[in-house]
Homo-oligomer: A and B are copies of this chain.
Amino acid sequence: MSAGKPIDFYFEFSSPYGYIAAELAEDFEKRIGRPMNWRPMLLGPVFKLTGQPPLVEIPIKGEYSKKDFSRSARLHKVPFRYPDKFPIGTVAPLRAFYWLNDRDPVKARALTKALYRAYFVEGKDISSPATVTEVAKLVGVDADALAKALEDPELKERAKKEVEMAIAAGVFGSPFFVVDGEQFWGVDRMPMLEDWIRTGGW
């Protein structure tokens, strides 16, 4: 396979399936030979548009989902503990990501995985900017600079635009992939996405 245009990889920091996808994404990228563009977004505004409640709040399906989160994590050999507070608002992790991604995309991925693990393994409440900067410090980010940036109206506007672009791209769940205009929703669709890319679509 030749390297093509990047695959857009959308995810929400409060999404267990987004977390699993982030853990799988770099091996996936290597196997496929196409770069991935990591693009965190927020499901809250999407749910307003689709009229959907958060997954775990849907009767019957919610109970299934809770079991499926940890089962899916076990399948993919990713550590997972259902957080005490779930779901949470993830504006702070989102802003931190885009701020860092403009400076050091490799570190932005490391921060993503560290934030996900802080939330879904250690149970830390990553909705808090203080927790975000604390986790960022662990992956070598200048915590003071980040803390200051998180208050910057320009960054807030930038992060908002990213969410709007995700919505404009039709993203309604996490993880969500767009490759050459084709959309794939769900960690369980990654094999389908892989087949699509390898074969050129079907």
Contacts of A188 in B (CB 8 A): 186, 188-189, 192
A106 at the interface (CB under 8 A from B): no
Q: Give CA–CA (A122, B170) in the complex, Å.
A: 31
Q: Is the Cβ of B46 less than 8 Å from the Cβ of A50? A: no
Interface residues of A in 69-117 (CB under 8 A from B): 71-72, 74-75
Q: Give CA–CA (A199, B59) in the complex, Å.
A: 30
Using an 8 Å CB-CB cutoff, how does the interface string of A25-65 with B read, 1 for contact, 0 for none?
Answer: 00000000000000000000010011111000011110110
Contacts of A63 in B (CB 8 A): 170
**22 pairs of residues in contact across A and B, judged by CB atoms under 8 Å:** A46-B60, A50-B58, A50-B59, A50-B60, A50-B61, A51-B53, A51-B59, A52-B58, A52-B61, A60-B170, A60-B172, A63-B170, A64-B172, A64-B183, A64-B185, A71-B202, A72-B192, A74-B202, A75-B192, A75-B202, A186-B188, A191-B191
Tell me the nearest residue of chain B to A57, going by C-beta: B51
Chain A interface main SS type: helix
Q: Is the Cβ of B202 less than 8 Å from the Cβ of A172? A: no
A195 at the interface (CB under 8 A from B): yes
Cβ of A104 to closest chain B Cβ, rounded Å: 33
Tell me the nearest residue of chain B to A63, going by C-beta: B170
